[in-house]
């Protein structure tokens, strides 16, 4: 996990540096020259099929986030569950006070699956690949190197589905917008790095729209009356950019990003709970 976080941070810094380095320095033309320059440089619109979601998509800009900032009030059940959340030092940058290491209960620190939608709500996780087939859309995530089935063959959601980390999903097209409804989630995951909770009654509604050849727009709404007094969302539009491969991997299209307990257990055992970023070993100065 430590190696993964360090490598990812380096990749982000390098990407920002390269972006700055290759930004062209130009001066603004005037008069007829300006008009001629504008015509000459106007890019040609690239054709695309708005119903084609295939490809690897990267959230831009990449950042950790909640469903939205206007979280609805919690029910007594939700408040009781949320009161038991104990975060670690890794989320200190989000303004979250770390709990003693012995109390940490973030499921990710037990190498549990991130689940949905948390895999879309944190850095390192917001890289996905859509693969469309005649009967479903496969949404493959770099985090956990796992996938989600979104059935498009007309089936309905189950009334009493078996609880899953990634739920049970059915999708349909509404014009050029792909609409996904999901239920059947277990309540063992957090919605985001802040530790926002949910119940097994949670239902999600998402919209995905291909705005142009290189960009997808995504929104999500959480409807969980057991936890929140009203639906949470829809979120602001998140923008995903089409990329040839993961920016975190030099050779593979998507990185094989597993949480391996035999590696993670030792790292967390030696973590400094008051540190920020890369945790120093205990006793270091």
Q: Is the pLDDT of residue 270 over 70?
A: no
The ranges assigned to domains in the chain are 2-16+52-269
Of 82-91, 159-168, 212-221, the poorest mean pLDDT is in 82-91
56-111: per-residue pLDDT in tens?
A: 999 988 777 788 888 999 999 999 999 999 987 766 667 777 788 788 888 888 88
Query: What mean pLDDT comes out for the span 122-138?
Result: 88
Alpha-carbon distance of 157 to 247, in angstroms, equals 35
- Mean pLDDT, range 228-252, rounded to an integer: 91
Cis previous bond, 234, omega within 30? yes
pLDDT at 52 over 60: yes
pTM: 0.76
Look at residue 32 in the predicted model and tell me its pLDDT.
47
d(Cα 104, Cα 273) in Å, to the nearest integer? 10
Q: For residues 232 and 283, give the distance between their C-alpha atoms in angstroms, rounded to a whole number.
A: 44
Over residues 14-28, the pLDDT tens digits come to 343 334 433 333 333
Count CB-CB contacts under 10 A for residue 158: 11
Residue 68's CB is within 10 A of a number of other CB atoms, namely 16
CB distance 167 to 188 below 8 Å: no
């Amino acid at each position: 996990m430590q190696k993964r976080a360090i490598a990812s941070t380096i990749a982000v810094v390098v990407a920002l540096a390269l972006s700055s380095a290759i930004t062209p320095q130009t001066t603004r033309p005037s008069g007829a020259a300006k008009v001629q320059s504008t015509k000459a440089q106007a890019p040609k619109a690239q054709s695309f099929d708005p119903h084609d979601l295939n490809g690897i998509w990267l959230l831009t800009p990449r950042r950790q986030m909640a469903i939205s900032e206007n979280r609805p009030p919690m029910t007594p059940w939700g408040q009781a569950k949320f009161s038991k959340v104990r975060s670690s030092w890794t989320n200190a940058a989000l303004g979250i006070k770390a709990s003693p290491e012995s109390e940490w209960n973030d499921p990710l620190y037990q190498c549990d699956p991130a689940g949905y939608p948390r895999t879309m709500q944190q850095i390192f996780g917001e890289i996905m690949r859509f693969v469309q087939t005649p009967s479903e859309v496969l949404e493959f995530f770099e985090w956990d190197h796992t996938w989600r089935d979104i059935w498009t063959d007309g089936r309905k959601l189950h009334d009493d589905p078996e609880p899953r980390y990634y739920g049970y999903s059915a999708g349909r097209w509404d014009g050029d917008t792909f609409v996904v409804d999901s239920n059947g989630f277990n309540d063992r995951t957090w919605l985001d790095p802040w530790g926002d909770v949910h119940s097994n009654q949670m239902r999600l509604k998402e919209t995905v729209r291909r705005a142009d050849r290189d960009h997808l727009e995504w929104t999500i709404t959480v409807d969980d009356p057991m936890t929140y007094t009203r639906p949470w969302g829809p979120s602001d539009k998140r923008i995903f950019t089409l990329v040839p491969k993961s920016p975190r991997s030099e050779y593979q299209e998507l990185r094989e990003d597993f949480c391996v307990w035999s590696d993670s257990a030792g790292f967390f055992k030696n973590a400094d709970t008051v540190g920020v970023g890369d945790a120093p070993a205990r006793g270091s100065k």
